[in-house]
Amino acid sequence: MFHYEAYFPEKKLLNLSVAHVVDYLIKTHQYYRQYLIPEIDRLLQLFLNSCDGKCAESELIRNFYDKFQHECIAHFQIEEDEEFPFILELNRVIETKADKDSFLAKYGNFVVRDFEEDHVNIDDKMFDLENIIIKYLPPQYDQNIGNSLLSNLFLFEKDLKNHSRIEDHILLPKVNQLLKSLDDHE
Ligand SMILES: [Fe+2]
Ligand SMILES: [Fe+2]
């Protein structure tokens, strides 16, 4: 799936357990937060510092990137703090045939969010950032560092696209399935 964009075995992935899918998603958030994002931060700083002379664009890129980075991290946090705990608890109630009243008392008003729009926003910003770096920067910036920075941005873009595809096309349908089962469940 990560190697071939056109390959997305939806049926197979829909058979995975919800707990498994959520575990995978949390682990990839950790990989982004602990490794990929700090690495991009580091390279961006090196890249901006490498500019020789007047580099008015640096501040613009810095601000754009900071906003983008905050948006990504806030997005992961909402999923981890609100969405995933709800999903795991819903899954537990269905799997163990537990009493649904206590679940409803806690989560009765919970509305499952559709994150597709957030995912598209993040993806668009990533694309804009790459384009600014590729097309609009004067050559006073170190090109080798720029290439390393871009490689990491491309890696993040690709990984995050697959990550979001799993959330939108595997996790969300599974949650809807579970919610239907909850309705039939005594
Ligand atoms: Fe996520
Ligand atoms: Fe997401």
From ligand 2's centre to the CA of 153, what distance in Å?
17
- Is the confidence at residue 59, as pLDDT, over 70? yes
From ligand 1's centre to the CA of 116, what distance in Å?
11
For position 11, what pLDDT does the model report?
A: 76
- Global pTM reads 0.90
**CA 92 to CA 170: how far, in whole Å?**
18
How confident is the model over 45-50, as a mean pLDDT? 95
Are the C-beta atoms of residues 91 and 18 closer than 8 Å to each other?
A: yes
Q: How confident is the model at residue 186 (pLDDT cuts 50, 70, 90)?
A: low
From ligand 2's centre to the CA of 29, what distance in Å?
9
From ligand 2's centre to the CA of 16, what distance in Å?
18
How confident is the model over 15-41, as a mean pLDDT? 95
The string of pLDDT tens digits covering residues 111-152 is 998 899 999 999 999 999 999 999 877 788 999 999 999 999
For position 184, what pLDDT does the model report?
A: 81
Cα distances (Å, whole numbers) of residue 33 to 62, 129, 138, 155: 18, 19, 30, 14
Q: Which distant-in-sequence residues (6+ apart) come within 8 Å of 46 by Cβ?
A: 142, 145, 149
From ligand 2's centre to the CA of 95, what distance in Å?
25
